[in-house]
Amino acid sequence: MNKEEFYRLLEARRSIRRFKKDLPPKEVIDRILAAGMQAPSGKNLQNWRFFVVTGKKRDEYLAHSQKSWLSLKDVLQRRLKPSLYEFTERFFFTLGDAPVIVFCYSENNPEERYHTNVGSVYMAVENMNLACFVEGLGCCTMGAPLEIKQDVDRFLGVTEREDYKKGELELLCALVIGYPDHSPPKAPRQLDDRIHWIDS
């Protein structure tokens, strides 16, 4: 990949919220997860932990997704146009038919600063976003599971892990992944007050 292709890749990536129901091959999902694990991490702790949900378990999660909507709907109603609000509500109730959900956790090492632990996982998540696009898949990074953190932890069974019992395992976001079934426009990048050069 040359420079131009790389920057075109960044510009072309979209967050997808409507998917075909076809399950991508496991080897493709494995490559996407491997791309995430190529990210840098503080002290090279590689503290990301990924839990991949498909099939009947994915269908069971919809009840939790619908619950997370209840925590967000009033804020979104104030921020979104009615048509986009209705589209977003449908997305929460169906996850856009995405057949794969990856829940992304940080194993927070007490010897590393908290925000470095968290930032390392989000760098992995961005790698996975780009890998999805290269693989011809769509994805959407969701913070909504944080509204129902404890429900998600119990749903995934992570409450039985020793790192969770020690208070070190923390849910950060989820990725829904599948073959895209729409081509949404990309929101313009906002530039005002985003970049500051500090010169001597």
pLDDT in tens, 105-161: 999 999 999 999 999 999 999 999 999 999 999 999 999 999 999 999 999 999 999
* Nearest residue to 153 via CA among 73, 64, 85, 74: 64
Token pair in block for residue 18? 């409507």
Q: Is residue 190 part of a domain?
A: no
pLDDT of residue 1: 80
Domain that holds residue 144: 15-178
Tokens coding 124: 């992995």
Q: Confirm whether 107 is domain-assigned.
A: yes
Secondary structure element (H or E) that encloses residue 84, with its range: helix 82-94
Whether residue 200 is predicted with pLDDT greater than 90 in this model: the reply is: no
d(CA 35, CA 32): 5
On whether residue 167 sits in a domain, the answer given is yes
Q: At what angle do helices 149-156 and 55-79 cross, to 10 degrees?
A: 170
Domain assignment present for residue 144? The answer is yes
128 alpha carbon, distance to own chain's centre: 9
Question: How many domains does the structure of the chain reveal?
Answer: 1
Distant-in-sequence, close-in-space partners of 62: CB < 8 Å, separation ≥ 6: 93, 94, 95
Please indicate, yes or no, if residue 87 is contained in any of the structural domains. Answer: yes
Domain annotation covers residue 20: yes
Give the CATH number, domain containing residue 28.
Answer: 3.40.109.10
Averaged pLDDT of the chain:
96
- Evaluate whether 142 touches 175 at the Cβ level (below 8 Å): yes
What global pTM score does this model have?
A: 0.96
Task: Give the pLDDT band (50/70/90) at residue 56.
Answer: very high
* Number of other CB atoms surrounding residue 109 within 10 Å: 18
pLDDT beyond 90 at 72 = yes
Percent of the chain with pLDDT over 70: 100
Cα distance between residue 54 and residue 38, in whole Å: 23
Which of 154, 136, 130, 131 is closest to 51 using CA atoms? 154
